[in-house]
Structure 1
Amino acid sequence: MDTLKNGRWQKELKVLHLAGFKSVKACRTRLNPDWFSLIIVLSGTIYFMDGTSTVSLYRGDMYAVPRTAEVIKLTSSVRVCFMSCKRDFAITNRFSRSGIGYIEVLAGYLPSVISLTQTEMSYLIQVFGFLKKKISSRDSIFQEEMVLLYVNLILYEFSALCYKHSENITAVHYRREKIVMGFMTLVRQHCRVHHEVSFYANSLYISRGYLGKAVRQIIGMPLKQYIEMAIVSEAYVLLEDKTLAINKIGEHLNFRNPQSFSNFFKKHTKLTPTQYRHNLKF
């Protein structure tokens, strides 16, 4: 198992390339339900149990492992490419700051199993190989930048495949799924102004408790966390506009004062808005 040697990231990203799992237990130790985990099966078969459903992964399958899924069986011939990272890590370090649709993929809402073509699989294996090489590098002065580049490339390729795949699926929306879809749409439209959970529950004419249960069941995270991730995403967009003063950005995002905005942003990104803007390459 390779992890980033840089202390800032060493606990937030794990990668395997052309590797096998020796046992179900070994596989389970790699899968933190609170992280975003992505597997490409290169050979063999892996079986997951998600609720009452069994998910079978064969050669060429790419799987975003839901937090509710657990591996139950695998063949001895299994080889995979595997990447797992904290969701906040992926959100904070993504290169494109426009909109929050990316969050929906990381939340695990879109189709999670994709059958890759041979061309798609070969390309992604190559990218995983580049990522592993950069993580293991000892002499690259741009190691951190290159690691983030390949992590982003993998996540955006997966996002694009999700949307492409979902176009060919006839979705069956149960009540909770409809509620969560409505919630995500409202967050996309109103997160700059409305930070409180009650606004979204009232807009959907349901209780906060019911909305919270639905969101946690479908996308695997608390309501407040999803809203805050969306606010941070919008803050990225505004901070890239150098004509906007940081105190004005706080006002645009409906924080009561500049310090409140700064504290919120630093909590989620480890940087103040000023530090983040200073690090941007315009």
Structure 2
Amino acid sequence: MITYENLHDTLSFYSIDCRQSYYISSGNPIFDFPETPFRMDYYALCICTAGEINIEIDKQKYHINAHCFLIAAPSTIVKFLETSEDFKMKLLFFDKNFLIKNISDPFIIEKMNLFSSGSYNIVRTNEKNSVLLQNLLDYLKKKSRKQGKFTEEIVRTIIFNLLLETADIIEQENSSAFEKEEGKKDIYLKFSSLIRDNIRKDRTVQFYADQLFVSNKYLIEVIKKACGKTPHQVIDETLLKEAYMLLGNPDITISEIAFELQFNSASAFGRFFKKQTSLSPSEYRSRENILS
């Protein structure tokens, strides 16, 4: 069994050598998909243009059809389940460092409020909005093919435009009083980003509070208001995602996974995993037929 741990590996499944900081798809029909889950290592915008697909994202199952789109951040874990024969999608992958080059605010993407589920968002919109995004993707692909002095800046500008249009569509669908509290929203967005970057290094609430220059109590208040969970619960959920990803690779032992995730022992990792899922790591692997 092959585990696709990142986007480069997944695109290589389709004989696509993606060494650039971005990739724009053709929108042609897709007939074959990786069977195993994989973790995004780029940002992604995927628009279903025809047919339908059943997909699992961070262990949650979704049904997506025409004019739905997925916007996802790095660390999102995706598994394709089944598609209709006429399924088509247009997509864009890009690296954040490419996008924010020469931009003073490193949290510009997070501030667009694109990810309602932590690291991704699935939006069901109308044909008009879908066509708008598709046309921008087509324009982006056309411009990316022309290698000129300002091609990189043009591509970067179009991607920003795409994200802002996407954020505007999401804003139309969802608005809340919390979004108007800019200071608290910034803390929540930075907290989410810091967890994605540091989950394998540190999972204490104090670490993230220190990074954000706020007290534990204030961080708990902000995060609970933003998503209805405590910082500790968000940290555990993110850690569980990492565990699922590593357990999907049969070449890595459970002891190695425990070490990678900074647990004191395999048994400590096993207790954490069973508390979250009601299964031991080995039982999960057996259930999912992940055999070495």
Bin for the TM-score computed over the shorter chain? 0.5 to 0.7
Q: Show the 5 A alignment for 1:149-160.
A: 149-160=157-168
The answer for the alignment partner of 2:231 in structure 1 is: 211
Which one of 142, 151, 154 corresponds to residue 146 of structure 1? 154
TM-score, normalisation: structure 2: 0.52
The answer for the alignment partner of 1:276 in structure 2 is: none
Which residue identity is paired with 2:151?
Answer: Q
The answer for the alignment partner of 2:114 in structure 1 is: 105
Distance 2:214 2:105 in 1: 28
- Alpha-carbon offset, residue 48 of structure 1: 1.0
Question: How many residues were matched structurally?
Answer: 195
The answer for the alignment partner of 2:211 in structure 1 is: 196
The answer for the alignment partner of 1:72 in structure 2 is: 81
Distance 1:63 1:75 in 2: 18
The answer for the alignment partner of 2:93 in structure 1 is: 84
Cα contact 2:133–2:162 (8 A) shared by 1: yes
TM-score, normalisation: structure 1: 0.54
Q: Show the 5 A alignment for 1:1-282.
A: 10-25=19-34, 32-65=39-72, 67-92=76-101, 102=111, 104-105=113-114, 109=118, 112-138=121-147, 140-167=148-175, 183-184=187-188, 196=211, 199-204=214-219, 211=231, 214-215=234-235, 217=237
Cα contact 1:108–1:219 (8 A) shared by 2: no
More displaced, 194-203 or 126-135? 194-203
- Alpha-carbon offset, residue 115 of structure 1: 2.0
Distance 1:61 1:196 in 2: 36
Note closer, same or farther for the CA distance 1:201–1:58 as it changes in structure 2 (3 Å cut). Answer: same
Unaligned runs of 5+ in 2: 1-10, 12-17, 179-183, 192-208, 222-229, 243-292
Deviations 1:137-185 (A, max 9, x none): 24x3321121111111111111111222113x999xxxxxxxx979517
- Alpha-carbon offset, residue 46 of structure 1: 1.6
- Alpha-carbon offset, residue 73 of structure 1: 1.6
Deviations 1:81-139 (A, max 9, x none): 1011223433446698997752642686487122222221222211111111111224x
Distance 1:98 1:197 in 2: 13
Note closer, same or farther for the CA distance 1:99–1:144 as it changes in structure 2 (3 Å cut). Answer: closer
Which residue identity is paired with 2:211?
Answer: E
Cα contact 2:111–2:189 (8 A) shared by 1: no
The answer for the alignment partner of 1:271 in structure 2 is: none
Q: Identity of counterpart residues, as a percentage?
A: 11
Measured on the aligned residues, the alpha-carbon RMSD in Å equals 4.4
Cα contact 2:112–2:167 (8 A) shared by 1: no
Q: Secondary structure at the match of 2:34?
A: helix
